[in-house]
Amino acid sequence: MIRSIFYISYDFGFLSIHSHEIISNMLISGVRVDLFMPDKIQPSLTINPQCTIHKIPVLFKSHILRFIVFNILLIINFLFEITKNAKPDMIYARQIYSGIIPILFSRIFRISYFSEINNIIPRSKLKTYYLKTKIKIVLERLSLKLANFIITPSLTLKNGIVERYGFAPDKIHVVPNGVNEKIFYPSFKKCCLCENFGIKNNDFIVGFVGSMAKWQGLNILKNAIIKALDSNNKIKFLLVGDYVEDSNHDKMKAGSGDAAENILSFIKDHSLEGRVIYHGFVNYEATADFMNICDVLLAPYTSECHEFGGGSPMKLYAYFGCGKPVIISDLGEFTDSISLKKRGAAYLIPPDDSDALAKAILYFKKNKTAVKKYGERGRTFVLNERKWSDSCSKILSILHQ
């Protein structure tokens, strides 16, 4: 039985939703969790008070010095906690290429080490960055090789790691992301939000909620919006979210993210005020209210999405949790499209195809039966197969195998 876990978050801009949900479900499972994270992070999510948080000082601006000192201080904290409470059953980390020291520590103390990896370092095509990228890849390979177990969110990423680094496939375990069904569930439209946005009861609302990074298909979406509105002027679009390269939530909360100006300019340039509604960054727990305003939700991922993420998109499962029909780019197992296709749980379109996206939007506008059918099937899918509690159980079971 697993009693205690040291969880390392190397994210210097935020505490990820994935970390928050896995930690919460480990605590619910009766496991003691010590979270080690950079001291300047102000979590945007409420962390379970049963979790013991250790904030590690970030002392240097230099990338190299920062990580060396951070890892040394991390080990000092480990030693203190082991002296006080005995060693944990596992160390779990959202792995980065420079996080090798804690893995060596786990080897010395014979503690199982889990490396969660959500993407592999892309090879640089520019000579200027070739050496730097090469070093990162060497360090990434070493850190993953030394880990006892590797966790990925998709088979696509697992195959990519095997192909690049030549690891044995049975060392890598696929644990899909999930939905928090206590946050994301079907609910009535909030009147205050509808009033603020000028949304009426008979409006058909098509929504996009979440990160607006380029691989999320923002340009495809903008083209589809124009085509859909040209065909049907009774549709309204609600776009919620933002994006910054450094994942700085403070920038997004202040409305100064990279996507905000892009969307607002698009609306102004095409005179779409009142027909396309934009709202900036929203905290994780509040996104469900915006999703539940919508009749249909969109996830038009681009074909280059493989280069930037590990698959099993969390946004999808939140959409499904709210019982909404979802239009999604078919990127195979990477976007869970294989499972969704088998269950008829989502409307799949080719990636990078604004015509197909516009056509799908118009299909749901004309077909209320399809809205209900796809919404119900999608929710059934996540409740049966993609809850965060399922993801947590898979991680904990790996140590027993």
241 with 338, same domain: the answer is yes
CA nearest 275: which of 186, 204, 196? 204
Q: What is the mean pLDDT of residues 296-313?
A: 83
Characterize 347-373 residue by residue with b for buried, 16 or more Cβ atoms within 10 angstroms of its Cβ, and e for exposed. bbbebbbbebbbbbbbebbeeeeebee
Is 365 a domain residue?
yes
Q: Are residues 71 and 195 in the same domain?
A: no
Average pLDDT value for residue range 54-62: 87
Mean pLDDT of 343-352: 95
Q: What pLDDT does 133 receive?
A: 83
Query: Which pLDDT belongs to residue 246?
Result: 61
pLDDT of residue 259: 84
Q: Is the pLDDT of residue 205 over 90?
A: yes
| pLDDT value, residue 249 | 64
- Domain of residue 27: give its range: 4-178+388-400
Q: What is the pLDDT averaged over residues 313-337?
A: 94
- At 142, the pLDDT band (50, 70, 90 cuts) reads very high
Arithmetic mean of pLDDT over the chain: 89
Total residue length of the chain: 401
Q: Is residue 183 part of a domain?
A: no
One domain for residues 204 and 342? yes
- Higher pLDDT pick, 13 / 284: 284
The partner residues of 149 in beta bridges, in order of sequence, read 114
Clarify whether residues 235 and 310 are in a common domain: yes
304 domain-assigned: yes
For the cut 60, the answer to whether the pLDDT of residue 314 exceeds it is yes
Q: Which residue matches tokens 């920062």? A: 66
Nearest-angstrom CA–CA distance, 240 and 279: 5
Q: What pLDDT does residue 49 have?
A: 87
| Distance in angstroms (rounded) separating the CA atoms of residues 230 and 245 | 33
Q: Give the pLDDT of residue 167.
A: 94
- Residue 377 has a pLDDT of 97
| Residue 186 included in any domain | no
Q: What is the per-residue pLDDT for 126?
A: 55
- Whether the per-residue pLDDT at 32 is higher than 90: the answer is yes
pLDDT for 67:
84
Instruction: Determine contact, residues 161/152, Cβ cutoff 8 Å.
Output: yes
- Is 289 a domain residue? yes
Q: Do 168 and 37 share a domain, yes or no?
A: yes
Per-residue confidence band for 225, with pLDDT thresholds at 50, 70 and 90: very high
- Condensed to tens digits (0 to 9), the pLDDT of residues 233-276 reads 789 999 999 887 766 666 666 666 778 888 999 999 999 999 99
Q: Would you give the DSSP letter of residue 29?
A: T
Whether 283 maps to a domain, the answer reads yes
Average pLDDT over residues 105-114: 94
- Which residue has better confidence, 52 or 230? 52
3-class DSSP state of 191? helix
Residues 98 and 236 in one domain: no
Average pLDDT over residues 34-60: 85
pLDDT of residue 46 exceeding 80: no
Same domain, 201 and 293: yes
Question: Would you say 137 and 127 are in contact if contact means Cβ atoms under 8 Å apart?
Answer: no
Which CATH number fits the domain that encloses residue 152? 3.40.50.2000
CA atoms of 372 and 295, how far apart (whole Å): 9
pLDDT for residue 247: 60
For residue 399, pLDDT over 90 is answered with: no
DSSP 335: G
* pLDDT higher than 70, residue 308: no
Asked if the structure places residue 184 within a domain, the reply is: no
Region 169-180 average pLDDT = 95
Q: What is the pLDDT of residue 59?
A: 86
What phi and psi, each to the nearest 5 degrees, are found at residue 385? -135, -10
Cβ(346)–Cβ(340) under 8 Å? yes
Residues 97 and 237 in one domain: no
- pLDDT confidence of residue 98: 78
Task: Assess whether 152 and 270 both reside in one domain.
Answer: no
**Between residues 162 and 305, the one the model is more confident about:** 162
Same domain assignment for residues 223 and 314 = yes
With pLDDT > 90 as the criterion, what percentage of the chain qualifies? 64
Tokens at residue 55, please?
Answer: 């904030």
Q: What is the pLDDT of residues 182-194, one digit of tens each?
A: 999 999 877 788 8
DSSP assignments along 272-333, one per residue: -TTTEEEE----GGGHHHHHTT-SEEEE---GGGGGT--SS-HHHHHHHHTT--EEEE--GG
Same domain, 255 and 126: no
The verdict on residue 92 lying in a domain is yes
Share of residues in the chain with pLDDT > 70 (%) = 93
Which of 219, 222, 320 shows the shortest CA–CA distance to 275?
A: 222
Per the structure, the count of domains in the chain is 2
What's residue 40's pLDDT?
78
Q: How far is C-alpha 247 from the geometric centre of its chain's CA atoms?
A: 12
Q: DSSP letter string over 125-182?
A: -SHHHHHHHHHHHHHHHHHHHHSSEEEES-HHHHHHHHHHH---GGGEEE----B-TT
From 103-107, 176-180, 306-310, the region with the lowest mean pLDDT: 306-310
Are residues 228 and 270 located together in one domain of the fold?
A: yes
What's the pLDDT at 14? 73
